[in-house]
Chains A and B, each alone.
Chain A
Amino acid sequence: MASWKLEGSGKLTFDRVDRVVVGIVEGAVSVVGTDGEPTLEVLELAGSPLRVRHEDGVLTVDYERPPRPGLLSWLSGWGRRYRAVLSLAVPRDCRVELRVISASLMVSGLRAPVRARTVSGEITLAGLGGTADAETISGSIEASGVSGDLSAGTVSGDLTVAEGGGSVRAHTVSGAIALDLEASGDRDIQLSSVSGDLTVRLPGISDLQVQLQSTSGQVASAFDELALDRTPGRHAAEGRLGAGTGRLRATSTSGHVALLRRAPETQA
């Protein structure tokens, strides 16, 4: 096993990496897919040294003595002693697992599964072909061109998906969810929130079995095929679009639910 202890900014390269695991506290982590040599760049490092281990294709970046967040250590500002900004370039079929506390995360250009967890940081996902699993408490999640299945959860952060291609399973408490979906087939979209608004935009021609519901929010749909049901305590819209091969279900307690129709792409 190869092992390094980094005390400051620097750069390391590796021969083979097919899985990356990063566990840091504060700062930022970016992982991008590349055809070149796997590389770790540490741009900023403050406080405790970073531990980098490389064994059998698995690259791990973390701290030897991870912080134990207790009330006293929190008050004494432990977060500032564990700040790191790092970027990784890895092969496109490398699996990625990021677990951080307040760092922002960015993963892009990969085909393999990605897991990203942060408490208060933002998560940005772009151009992913494998499954993506993102979770944050107060940060927002922004995804563009994720063609694999996406599973996302936040408490107060917003989730926005541009050019969504696969199935989506997402839950928020007060965060809003907005999805712009590409032509859909056999996909399963399940969204839920407590008070956050749910907005989905579909291409004009879609094949989905749709079920929208809100207890006290307004439910609105741009598709005439859906039957609206407005009774106190239950606003709903249900019906089948096209062949109905996929499924879309959006449920909120007090948030509004809206289904929009995308105008055909205007070719400039």
Chain B
Amino acid sequence: MSPVFSHGRLRLYLLKLLDESPRHGYDVIRLLEDRFMGLYSPSPGTIYPRLQRLEAEGLVTPSQEGGRKVYQITDAGREELAGRRAELDELEAEISGSVHGLAREVRDEVRGSVRDLKEELKQAAREMRRQQRHENRSRRHGHDEHHRWDWRDEGFDGRVQEFLDRTERAMRRVQLTEAQLRECAAILDEAFERIRQTLKTPDEQRHDH
């Protein structure tokens, strides 16, 4: 899963294009290319997920036309567009008014879609590695009782890394307070303590009682 729509400007522009008239995905791509003055053409791989996302949110609705999917804006889509009209006008003025505005728009769009892709590839690679370790383990040992479980084989190192990435992203989104930091630190301590308890050998557990 890629975190599609990390950047909201393209979404606004997609709605505007579909407000003008119902359009097929390829028309949308061609029009976006014009918008970026031919500097950059978004790939189907970046546009289709966005259209599907708009569809899931009920802002556009698809219909079949001669075997092709045509997207049409809904009332909810028009409402969102109307609410953000000023933002859109500002954006349009910026792009048409200067080289800088256009360059910035292209840069933001490229960075946004490339970062989505980076995240998608990273997750896909991690998942493939996890599966491969799993298969190797099954092949080597079968599922017998004497199997030695290895946390790396089970993909725990990947999960820890993923945990760090997700936590970092979540923390970056907010202005952290001291109280929140303390609370998070306490949660980490608690998690570690529980893992330590879980990993105790039977002897240690007996000793505890």
Report which A residues bind B (CB closer than 8 A): 30-34, 39, 41, 43, 85, 87-89, 106, 108-109, 122, 124, 126-127, 142-145, 158, 160, 162-163, 176, 178, 180, 197, 199, 201, 218, 220, 222, 230, 256, 258, 260, 265-268
Q: Total contacts A to B, CB within 8 angstroms?
A: 128
Roughly how many angstroms separate A199 CA and B107 CA in the complex, as a whole number?
23
Inter-subunit contact A220/B125 (CB<8 Å): yes
Instruction: With A108-B106, A162-B114, A201-B121 as known contacts, state yes or no: A87 contacts B98, CB within 8 Å.
Output: yes
Contacts of B45 in A (CB 8 A): 265
In the bound assembly, the distance between CA atoms of A85 and B118 in angstroms comes to 27
The docked-state distance in angstroms from the alpha carbon of A30 to that of B100 is 8
Q: Give A163 to B45 CA distance when docked, in angstroms.
A: 10
- A124-B111, A220-B132, A268-B52 known; A201+B124 contact, CB < 8 A: yes
On whether A41 and B107 interact (CB within 8 A), knowing A109-B40, A266-B48, A268-B69, the answer reads no
B174 within 8 A of A: no
A109 touches B37 (CB 8 A): yes
Bound CA span A39–B133, Å: 55
Q: Determine chain B's interface SS by DSSP, over half rule.
A: helix
Task: Kindly state the separation between the CA atoms of A85 and B100 in the bound complex, as whole angstroms.
Answer: 9
The answer to whether B40 touches A199 (Cβ under 8 A) is no
CB distance from B157 to the nearest CB of A (A): 10
Task: Determine whether the beta carbon of B40 is less than 8 Å from that of A178.
Answer: no
Q: Which residues of A contact B41 (CB under 8 A)?
A: 127, 145
Q: Is the CB of A89 within 8 A of B129?
A: no
22 A-B contacts, Cβ less than 8 Å apart?
A30-B100, A32-B102, A33-B38, A88-B99, A108-B40, A108-B110, A109-B106, A126-B106, A126-B110, A142-B115, A143-B114, A144-B40, A160-B114, A160-B115, A178-B122, A199-B124, A220-B132, A258-B124, A258-B125, A260-B125, A267-B48, A268-B62
Which residues from chain A contact B132 at a C-beta distance below 8 Å?
Answer: 218, 220
Cβ-defined contact, B122 with A260, below 8 A: no
Cα of A88 to Cα of B39 in the assembled complex, Å:
13
Query: Which interface class (under 10, 10 to 19, 20 to 34, 35 or more) fits B?
Result: 35 or more
CB neighbours of B117 from chain A (8 A): 160, 162, 178, 180
The answer, yes or no, to whether B142 is at the interface (CB within 8 Å) is no
B111 & A142 in contact (Cβ 8 Å cutoff): yes
Closest chain B residue to A31, Cβ basis: B103
Are B122 and A124 closer than 8 Å at their CB atoms?
no
Contact A265 B44, beta carbon cutoff 8 Å: yes
Contact in complex: B99, A89 (CB < 8 Å)? yes
Q: Which 7 A-B pairs have the closest CB atoms?
A: A30-B103, A109-B39, A258-B125, A87-B100, A142-B114, A268-B48, A108-B39
Q: Is the interface of A mostly helix, strand, loop or mixed?
A: strand
B37 adjacent to A145 (CB under 8 Å): no
A158 to B110, CA, bound (A): 15
Report B-chain residues with C-beta under 8 Å of the C-beta of A127. 38-41
Q: For the complex, is B51 an interface residue (Cβ under 8 Å from A)? A: yes
Q: How far apart are the CA atoms of A127 and B39 in the complex, in Å? A: 6
Chain B residues 83 to 135 lying within 8 A of chain A, measured CB to CB, are 98-100, 102-104, 106-107, 110-111, 113-115, 117-118, 121-122, 124-125, 128-129, 132-133
Q: Is the pair A144, B114 in contact by a Cβ cutoff of 8 Å?
A: yes
Q: Which residues of A contact B40 (CB under 8 A)?
A: 108-109, 126-127, 144-145
Give the nearest-CB partner of B104 in chain A.
A30
- The yes or no answer to B25 lying at the interface (CB within 8 A) is yes
Partner of B110, one of A124, A197, A230: A124
Residue of A nearest to B124 (CB): A260
The contact of B129 among A33, A256, A267, A268, by CB within 8 Å, is A256
Residues of A within 8 A of B38 (CB): 33, 109, 127
Whether A162 lies near B113 (C-beta < 8 A) is yes
Decide yes or no whether B43 CB sits under 8 A from chain A: yes
Given contacts A32-B102, A87-B98, A108-B39, contact A197 B125 (CB under 8 A): yes
Query: A142 to B110, Cβ gap below 8 A?
Result: yes
A105-B96 Cα distance, complex, nearest whole Å: 21
A193 to B102, CA, bound (A): 35
Instruction: Find chain A residues with CB under 8 A from B104 CB.
Output: 30
